[in-house]
Amino acid sequence: MFGYLFPGQGTVRVGMGAWLRRRPVARDRLDEVDALLSRPISPLCARGPLDRLVSTEHAQVAVTACNLAALAVLTEEGYEPAVVAGHSVGELTALHAAGVLDLAGTVRLVETRARLMAGAGRIAGGMRAVMGLSAERVEELASAAAAPGEPVVVGLENAPGHVVVSGAVPALDRLEKLATDATKIVPLKVGGAYHSPLMAGAVPGWAAAVDAAPMREPRVPVVPNVTGEPTTDLGALRRALVAQLTGRVLWTRTVGAVDAVAPGVEVGDSKVLAGLSRRAGARCLSMADPGTLRRLAREVAA
C-alpha cells in the first residue's frame, strides 16, 4: 500500500490533464467534475489563457479536477491508500480519497474555497519562496519585517531549505532586504497572501461551508497541513480544514508522517510534491511520470 499525496494550486499550467484524458476512467472523472461545476474547467486547463488559469478561482478547481482524475486511475488499478495528505487545496482531494467527502461535496467545497480566497486575496498581499534558510531563521526574519497592519508570516514549510513567506507586500519587501543569507528569494504568481492573517476575511464563510458539508469518518488516516499528524478524528479534520486558510502548511512534517506509514505517490498531474519529498528524505513517486504505474505494480508484486 502507498501514501497518497495530492498537489496544490501552485502546480497549474496550460495543458495540464492531457495525459489523464488518454485514460477512459480519468477522462470520465474529468467530465463528471465539469458537470458538477458552475462552469467547466477542462477547456481552460487545455487551452488557457495562463493568466486566467492561474487565478485563484480557477487554479484551485483545475488542480482538484486533475487530482480526482488521477485518483480514479489508481482506484481502477486496484490500489487503496494507507494514509493520505494534500498540499493546501489538495487536502480536499485527500479527504475524498479517505472517504470523508463524496465527489459532489469535494467539488462544491473547492469552488467555495476558491471563490472566498479570491475575494480575500484582493487585499494587497503576496507570497515569496525563500531558499537556503531554515524555517526557524525565516520565522525570525518575518518577525523583524512585520509591522502594525503589515503582517508577514511563514506560510508554508515545503521542505528543508524551501520556505514560503506570506503577507503584506511592504513587509515582504523588508524581509527580502533582511534575508541576505538566503540563496534565492522568488516571488510566487499567486493572487493573495494565502496561509496568512490576510486570509481572515474568508474564514467565516469557509467555516460555515465546512460545517455544512456532509462528511463521513475516514477509512484511512489523514495528515492535515496544520498539524502534520495522522488522524481519523472527523471533528479534528473539520477544524484543521478551517484553520488551514490562515495557518501554516507543515508540509515537511506531513511528508515525514506519510513516509513513516508507506511510500508516497503524488496523485495528480504534477511532479512538485515528489521533488519536495526527496528534499525531505522521503520516498515518493509521481503519477505524472509515465513509468510510475509499472513501478507501483512491481513494488506490490515484490
**Catalytic hit among 166, 195, 270, 277:** 195
C-alpha–C-alpha distance, residues 20 and 22, integer Å: 5
Is residue 96 part of the annotated active site? The answer reads no
C-alpha–C-alpha distance, residues 105 and 213, integer Å: 7
C-alpha–C-alpha distance, residues 286 and 171, integer Å: 36
* CA dist 118 → 142, 201, 208, 218, 289 (Å): 24, 11, 17, 29, 31
* CA dist 266 → 5, 115, 247, 258, 301 (Å): 5, 26, 23, 12, 20
DSSP string computed for 9-44: GGG--TTTTTTGGGSHHHHHHHHHHHHHSSS-SHHH
C-alpha cell at 280: 525531505
C-alpha cell at 275: 521533488
**Catalytic hit among 42, 55, 88, 286:** 88
C-alpha–C-alpha distance, residues 12 and 270, integer Å: 8
* Coil, strand or helix at 298: helix
Strands 126-131 and 162-167: antiparallel
C-alpha–C-alpha distance, residues 194 and 171, integer Å: 15
C-alpha–C-alpha distance, residues 288 and 290, integer Å: 6
Which residue matches cell numbers 485527500?
A: 94
Is residue 88 part of the annotated active site? The answer reads yes
Catalytic residues: 88, 195
